[in-house]
Amino acid sequence: MKTNEALQMDVQNAIKWEPLLNAAEIGVTAKDGVITLTGVVDSYTKKTEAENAAKNVIGVKAIAEEIEVNYGSLFKKNDTEIATEVLNAWQWKWEVPNDKIKVKVQSGWVTLEGEVEWNYQKEAAKNAVANLTGVKGVSNHITIISGSKDAIEKSAVESALARSWSINDHDVKVNVAGNKVKLTGIVHSLYQKEEAGRLAWNAPGVRAVDNELAVICN
């Protein structure tokens, strides 16, 4: 088990390694595997990059993300301009069924709502928004309503986990009930937990993934 000081340093070094980030802008504290990120950055992309860098560090169990996005007056946009750019961005993404998604912008914060058939569509809608100037945050409330009538195959989810180099599938248990997948067991990083959830979402017919994997750092 890493000490708080060692984990803090590892996260700080991970952030320094990302060329997009200025480590001086981001504060890092660590306590019992929980990382708190603070500071002010000039884009939402930097905010998410800092969070992703922390997730990949072994020993991180959870992240409290308190980074503020401040574009300054030079790149400031009003909510109408941001909403228009969101709609335009979706036009270039074949993965996004923009006729099924609604967007609301309030003080730079983007909220996505609607129904799609696949999780990758939900994630693509969010990712297209995250890189736009003026966006301070994204709440992705899009729900998955699968058009598949087939039952979820437990073995298919297990095979997907087994193919991932980053996950020890022997420590992950898969349970299927209707259109819901439940993951239990242990993983050794927050990244592994999220990756297992992402892979489960890729199974045809999935409407919900209950990711109860525990992050145990040796």
pLDDT in tens, 23-60: 889 999 999 999 999 999 989 999 999 999 999 898 89
Closest CA to 23 of 49, 3, 59, 5: 49
Q: Please give the CATH number for the structural domain made up of 154-215.
A: 3.30.300.130
Between 151 and 138, name the one with better pLDDT: 138
CATH match of 4-69 with 3.30.1340.30 = yes
CA–CA distance, 67 with 27 (Å, rounded to integer): 9
Measure Cα distances from 166 to 49, 56, 146, 195 in Å. Answer: 20, 11, 28, 8
Mean pLDDT, residues 115-124 taken together? 89
Listed residue (59, 69, 88) closest to 187, CA to CA? 59
How far, CA to CA in Å, does 140 sit from each of 10, 47, 109, 127, 209?
A: 30, 16, 11, 10, 15
Predicted local confidence at residue 144, as pLDDT = 86
For the segment 62-88, what is each residue's pLDDT rounded down to a tens digit? 999 999 998 887 777 899 999 999 999
Coil vs helix vs strand at 86: helix
Cα–Cα distance for residue pair 165/60, rounded to 1 Å? 19
Give pLDDT, residue 72.
80
Find out whether 214 and 189 touch, Cβ atoms under 8 Å: no
Is the pLDDT at 12 greater than 90, yes or no?
yes
CA 94 to chain centre: 20
CATH number for the domain formed by residue range(s) 79-144:
3.30.1340.30
Report how far apart, in Å, the C-alpha atoms of 110 and of each of 14, 23, 201 are. Answer: 28, 26, 23
Neighbours of 8 (CB within 10 A): 18
44: tokens are 């939402």
Q: How confident is the model at residue 178 (pLDDT cuts 50, 70, 90)?
A: confident
CATH 3.30.1340.30 domain locations along the chain: 4-69, 79-144
pTM: 0.76
Which burial class, exposed, middle or buried, applies to 11 when counting CB atoms under 10 A from its CB (0-12, 13-18, 19+)?
buried
